Amino acid sequence: MRGKQRYYCKSCDYHFTIGDENTPQEPKRHHEVTIMDIARQLGISKSTVSRALRGHTDIHEGTRQMILDLAKELDYEPNPLANALLKRRTNIIGMLVPEFRHYFFPTIIMGAQAVLSKAGYNLMIFQSDESYETEVANVKALLRSRVDGLLVSITGKTENFDHFRTVLQKEVPVVFFNRVCPELDTPQVIIDDYSGAFQAVEHLIEQGYRRIAHLAGPSILQIARLRMQGYVDALQKHGLPMDESLIVYHDLTEENARLCARHLLDLPQPPEAIFAVNDPSALEVLLLAKKRGIKVPQDLGIVGFSNDPVSAIIEPSLSTVEQPVWEIGEQSAQLLLEQLEQPRLETKVLKTRLIVRDSSRRRG
Amino acid sequence: MRGKQRYYCKSCDYHFTIGDENTPQEPKRHHEVTIMDIARQLGISKSTVSRALRGHTDIHEGTRQMILDLAKELDYEPNPLANALLKRRTNIIGMLVPEFRHYFFPTIIMGAQAVLSKAGYNLMIFQSDESYETEVANVKALLRSRVDGLLVSITGKTENFDHFRTVLQKEVPVVFFNRVCPELDTPQVIIDDYSGAFQAVEHLIEQGYRRIAHLAGPSILQIARLRMQGYVDALQKHGLPMDESLIVYHDLTEENARLCARHLLDLPQPPEAIFAVNDPSALEVLLLAKKRGIKVPQDLGIVGFSNDPVSAIIEPSLSTVEQPVWEIGEQSAQLLLEQLEQPRLETKVLKTRLIVRDSSRRRG
DNA sequence: AAACCTATCGGGAAGGTTCTCGAAACGGGT
DNA sequence: ACCCGTTTCGAGAACCTTCCCGATAGGTTT
């Protein structure tokens, strides 16, 4: 069996036998080692090889060893394409994020990747760049690629969810994280945005700020609505009036955040403090205030959301609401893996924590 | 032809005909619309359908329309797995970066993705986390996934390149960018590190700094060696002595950068200025200096490399050498696409530009 | 009328794997 | 010597597509 003449094609890493049959079969033009090669050399069937490699039970121990040895010697790698075609499983997870310039989504991706690669899945990442059309196109592309599941954080402009309905119709599981979809029954990973925002605004009130503005996100996003609600309720709890003119919505792009910051500081009666929906936009406020010589925190208090690393090193350092970013990735991936086993609805809510820094501390 | 009774399985989005043959064939358990479905319903062969869909020529115009119409009606999507299996092309490009917490690599990825997705390729991204073992494992995983090509930036610890030799042996094209592999004949996208570093150090000298240290990268990396050489030559040109004790190497991790920064500032006779191999490490120096009350730029000049957005907003703002990050991604992808057509050696060198900011300006 | 040409289409293999079903082989019991 | 249960293995279909090679039909030419 094992003693046959084996040849090795150096240029392309291909092993083959000559005189196996009486036909001196020459090496095929392009050779990837397949289970058929192993079977031929061992004079057995491909079924047997497949079973041995797969660790199936009813295989003679000697035969299995022969196969395993030869497979290692030939450096055999199973072809995932053939497998995927047969099993309708690519072992690829699609991930869709709005952007990854800042630290937030990259970190989530890393968390997800850690979990998924341990489970034998690879990641295909797309970014919608806050464009609804791109998001739809990306979902389509992901579906075309036959990914096994989807990890999604939607854009700030996504109002129509038909593209995700298509996904669910094809029985491809979807887990939303951070920016979730409220009208679809899918598992989600979110944080307690409401209480995070509430704490942040209450903290500002405690520091003596009264006219507190909110640089909000697009109200179609749940995170934006919840943070807004936290803001509103905190004001109300402390008997402060809510001034509509102090609420300004932005679409989560950098330029737009800059515009909104200017709008707020240009107000005839500018706010004493600003609670921003995320750190990048809070940062825009902070930078503009610095440029104009507005004293932070004395004349303007600022609190952001998410604890971007920049917030700690900017001067004055930015108060913010920390959220477990890496863990969001992990949990989302974990949830998706469970969906792949058995679909069931589940929402994970992670905790936030207020980090008070210099941008909002003007007492004790 | 078209008038046959068609049924539609709502739960799984499957169209089928009954009474097509005399056997009332019921819908298969799991149904994805295939070209066979189209062929069956039209009473033609799958070859014809395939050709019509592929835009082949010798097909009757009427037939083609029928096929195209039905394909659209059934929402047919070609199965890329079957195609990939047959053509040995997955249309997936593997990308391997050391990390993507900072702005640098994410931006490169975005640039590459823009080019690749336009060309019909998808991206599979891995990060080695500055670990050689992870890099090797990732390359293997990418190869197992049968990617069509590789876009790689190596770790700071990669001395052995056998894993990339394996890739080339399998005739999978590789393009290195930023952190390239010197001993392999592959296309690369780099920047003029040498002159960038030279300018940076010369600028420090012009500002009157004399004892200039270099927080270097691992010397096995070409970028680190070139930047080091620029540093050395700039000193020499201006007749400054080179003090070995002022050169300290770090492995590009954050913790290690912090250690090295401390080491430099703890020196019995500390440097007057520090040129760092990249912005994140320059930032560590800056932060430590601030913490210790060392005046920047008066008592310590600092210049980084890469122009991370944080550098512009930190206080004092960080002088740095700008490089066209997005373009590195674009060009790498472009080069890889060319490799896929026809392998040929090419190295693209992009320009850098010194940006002088507050951390190094103490004159004029 | 026979031969030929062109336009259009079908059959079947290939790509690499897994899985079902069934078939040998072998040992032991009667 | 026959039957039966196990153990071990092989044949072939299926997954979905593309492509090569022929085949058929109709019309055209001689």
DSSP assignment of A173-204 equals: -EEEESS--TTS---EEEE-HHHHHHHHHHHH
pLDDT digits (tens, 9 = 90+) for B165-202: 999 999 999 999 999 998 899 999 999 999 999 999 99
Please say whether the beta carbons of B81 and A85 come within 8 A: yes
Task: Kindly report, residue by residue over A135-178, the tens digit of the pLDDT.
Answer: 999 999 999 999 999 999 999 999 999 999 999 999 999 999 99
Specify the amino acid at residue A356: V
A29 has a pLDDT exceeding 70: no
**Residue to test with chain B: of A93, A122, A359, most B Cβ within 10 A:** A122
Q: What is the pLDDT of residue A31?
A: 67
A283-306 pLDDT, tens digit per residue, is 999 999 999 999 999 999 999 999
Stretch B149-166: mean pLDDT, rounded? Answer: 96
Q: Which nucleotide lies closest to A48 by the C1' atom and the CA atom?
A: D9
Tell me which chain B residue has its CA closest to the CA of residue A168.
B12
State the Cα–Cα distance between residues B132 and B117, nearest whole angstrom: 29
Distance measured from the CA of protein residue B214 to the C1' of nucleotide C12, in angstroms: 68
Q: Nearest residue (Cα to C1') for C8?
A: B59
Residues touching nucleic chain C (CB < 7 Å): A 28, 32, 34-36, 46-47, 50-51, 53-54, 76-79, 82-83, 85-87; B 43-48, 58-61, 63-64, 82, 85-86, 88
What mean pLDDT do residues B89-106 have?
95
Answer yes or no: is pLDDT of A281 > 90: yes
Out of A13, A125, A170, closest to residue B123 by CB: A125
* Residues counted in chain B: 364
CA–CA dist A286, A254 (Å, integer): 13
Is the pLDDT confidence value at A56 over 90? no
What is the mean predicted confidence (pLDDT) over A210-222? 96
Q: Report the pLDDT value the prediction gives residue B55, as an integer from 0 to 100.
A: 85
pLDDT in tens, B348-357: 999 999 999 9
- B97 has a pLDDT exceeding 50: yes
Please report the pLDDT score of residue A18 as a whole number: 35
- For residue B113, the chain A residues in CB contact (below 8 A) are 126-127
Q: CA-CA distances (angstroms) from residue B220 to B157, B183, B217, B251, B261? A: 7, 11, 8, 10, 20
pLDDT over 90 (residue A179) = yes
pLDDT of residue A224 exceeding 60: yes
pLDDT confidence tier of residue B241, bands split at 50, 70 and 90:
very high
Instruction: Give the torsion sign (CA, B236, B240, B245, B249).
Output: negative
Type and span of the H or E element at B53? helix B46-54
End-to-end CA distance of chain B, in Å?
84
pLDDT of residue A11: 34
What is the pTM for the complete model shown?
0.90
By C-alpha distance, which of B341, B300, B313, B94 is closest to B210? B300
Distance CA B340, CA B330 (A): 15
Q: What H or E segment, with its residue span, contains residue B177?
A: strand B174-177
| Mean pLDDT over each residue of chain A, to the nearest integer | 90
Chain A neighbors of B96, CB-CB under 8 A: none
- Residue A364's pLDDT is what? 63
Per-residue pLDDT at B323: 97
Residue B22 three-state SS: coil
d(CA B215, CA B257): 8
CB atoms under 10 Å from CB of A278, counted, come to 23
Contact B20, B38 (CB under 8 A): no
**Pairing of β A212-216 and β A273-276:** parallel
Nucleotides of strand D within 7 Å of the protein's CB atoms: 7-12, 14-20
Q: Are B351 and B192 in contact (CB under 8 A)?
A: yes
What pLDDT does residue A19 have? 35
Contact assessment for residue B347 and residue B190, using Cβ atoms and an 8 Å cutoff: yes
Look at residues A178, A159, A290 and name the one whose alpha carbon lies nearest to residue A227: A178
Apex CA B233: angle with CA B207 and CA B264, to 5°? 65
Would you say residue B10 has pLDDT above 60? no
Q: What is the pLDDT of residue A69?
A: 94
Contacts made by residues A38-45, CB under 8 angstroms, sequence distance 24+: A38/A67, A38/A70, A38/A71, A38/A74, A38/A76, A41/A4, A41/A6, A41/A15, A41/A17, A41/A70, A42/A1, A42/A2, A42/A66, A42/A67, A42/A70, A43/A1
Query: In the predicted model, what is the mean pLDDT of chain B?
Result: 90
In this predicted structure, the answer to whether residue A26 has a pLDDT above a threshold of 60 is no
Nearest to B76 by CA among B36, B18, B17: B36
Give the integer Cα–Cα distance in Å for A272 and A360: 10
- Could you give the percent of chain B with pLDDT greater than 70? 91
Mean pLDDT in residue range A98-109: 94
Q: What is the pLDDT of residue B23?
A: 35
pLDDT for the residue numbered A23: 35
